[in-house]
Amino acid sequence: MELEQVNTSEKIAQYLLEINAIRLKPNDPFTWASGWKSPIYCDNRLALSYPKVRSYIKDAIVAVVSEHFAEAEAIAGVATAGIPQGALTADALNLPFLYVRSKPKGHGMENMIEGKVTPGQRVVVIEDLVSTGGSSLKAVEDLRAAGFVVMGMVCIFTYGFDIARENFEKAGVKLISLSDYEHMLPNAVKNAYVSAEDLATLGQWRQDPANWKQ
């Protein structure tokens, strides 16, 4: 990973910790909808309420899209949390924007994709958080089914699970995350969000999240 990208990853991790978008409770874990116990909860939507953080994330996404997906013809957000930063990115790049619903709209046109559908158009998908990758890749499937050429996906944060990496590889989707669990942990210890003693259990969760503290 290039030095500039490392610095960006560390800075975003720091911002997310500062605004409590990332919360760590290794001794009193959260329970995810999947039933997994987790020492971390990440809600990047909080960044939208902090102009400095919001702008930094937007600029970082714009830089990634410009460098890695320069031929992009549109930006697509994953509903709901990927919509705001996706729209900001599209505006900054002067590109069309659309978004993908988790399920079809229950009335009217019953759209899965909101915005102009242009088969053959090269699109970059914006997501806020990737865990296993299931819901994110479902959006990719829907875009491909509508005729779009998905160049890749940019997300704000990922836990770095092996299952996510495998799922993206199988789907043939390039994923670039602005920050991740690996860059967040040293910052969390340095700024006393967790203790150095907590690193062992935090690492264990990262290796086997499905069975951690079950």
To the question of whether residue 143 is assigned a binding role by annotation, the answer is no
To the question of whether residue 107 is assigned a binding role by annotation, the answer is yes
To the question of whether residue 134 is assigned a binding role by annotation, the answer is yes
Look up tokens 């987790």; give the residue: 38
To the question of whether residue 183 is assigned a binding role by annotation, the answer is no
To the question of whether residue 129 is assigned a binding role by annotation, the answer is yes
To the question of whether residue 128 is assigned a binding role by annotation, the answer is yes
Residue 159's closest CA among 1, 3, 13, 11? 13
- In 33-114, at which residue ranges do the beta strands (DSSP E only) sit? 37-38, 40-42, 74-78, 97-100, 113-114
Residue 12's closest CA among 131, 91, 129? 129
To the question of whether residue 132 is assigned a binding role by annotation, the answer is yes
To the question of whether residue 135 is assigned a binding role by annotation, the answer is yes
- In 9-148, at which residue ranges do the beta strands (DSSP E only) sit? 22-24, 30-31, 37-38, 40-42, 74-78, 97-100, 113-114, 122-130
To the question of whether residue 127 is assigned a binding role by annotation, the answer is yes
Q: Tokens for 148?
A: 């779009």
Look up tokens 């089914």; give the residue: 145
**Residue positions in the annotated binding site for 5-phospho-alpha-D-ribose 1-diphosphate?**
101, 105, 107, 127-135
**Residue positions in the annotated binding site?**
101, 105, 107, 127-135
**Residue positions in the annotated binding site for orotate?**
131
